[in-house]
Chain A
Amino acid sequence: MKKYAIAIHGGAGTILRHLMFTEKENMYKQGLQDAITIGEQILKMGGSSLDAVESSVSSLENFPLFNAGKGAVFTNKGTHEMDASIMDGLTLEAGAVCGVSNIKNPVQLARLIKEKSGHVFLSGPDAEAFAHKMSLPTAGPEYFYTQERFNQWQEVKETDSYQLDHTDKKENSEKKFG
């Protein structure tokens, strides 16, 4: 068998170690293990790297503790706006989407944009219309709601601050200008 390899991430930052309880740490690790196992099985059986990354990321999107798909964070308006992209190293073809609110697996939409839209990058409601045309699964706001992300939003919603995926500190919106 020729060599294959796979790596996944579920975001950077992380809460302070002494605040990470064993039970929750195990849940995170289970989410990572499930996702990488799906991708690895595809590679082991001779499947493509493109199928592997799409499947692993879909699994991570379906896991509510990570900030994507089902566990997406709240915007200032209390909505969810999700972005995703995918790229094929053989052909350098790519697909990307931003600002979609009701697509269960935005990475699958990114792949369909790459393969079926004739474009590279679609955004917002019209990207959702393309997803509908492609018969991708959609869901209402209740699907994307998690209590933890809601609480995170409540802490900062009246401020100009925002937060990264896994953090106990607030960022000021001016910082990005360096």
Chain B
Amino acid sequence: TVGCVALDQYGNLAAATSTGGMTNKRFGRVGDSSIIGAGTYANNNTCAISCTGHGEYFIRAVVAYDISCLMEYKGLSLKEACDFVVKEKLVKMGGEGGLIAIDSYGNIELPFNSAGMYRAWKNSDTELQIRIYE
């Protein structure tokens, strides 16, 4: 699975995700990547999210929209919302994976609960960062 989230100079957020699914999948299985609110979500009032991991769990947890809701209705920061959903809620369910997120202020979060996540990030003020493991 691959994905991207971005904030442009006009304050607009966007998210996109694309995947080949799981090796050996059957019966037309669909994961979270193409499901708006589960694997992908963007809202200028909150954040943009793209997920990767065990899709069945991300669908059941409605991960991307859940993070947006925690920010919009409960007033959590992007980091608080991401950490809660990825490192507490998903872990308790047994869901492995992670996500990338940007809020409307340009804050970036890249939480994951797996061994690693292939990721890179950059904003107008900082150098490019590329990581695979913690």
Listed in ascending order, the chain A residues whose CB lies under 8 Å from chain B are 1-14, 16-17, 20, 25, 28-29, 32-33, 35-37, 39-40, 43-44, 46-50, 52-54, 56-57, 60-61, 66-69, 71-77, 80-90, 92, 94, 96-99, 105-107, 110-111, 120-121, 124, 149, 152-153, 156-157, 159, 161-166, 171, 175-176, 178
Contact = CB atoms under 8 A, between A and B. Distances in A.
Interface residues of B, number: 77
Interface string B85-108: 000000001101111111001111
Contacts of B5: 6-7, 53
Given A3-B9, A88-B14, A12 B117 contact: yes
A84 B132 CA distance: 23
B50 to A, nearest CB: 7
Contacts of A86: 14-16, 40
Contact of B52 (A7, A61, A75, A165): A165
A83 B30 CA distance: 8
A162 B40 CA distance: 23
B14 to A, nearest CB: 4
A84 B18 contact: yes
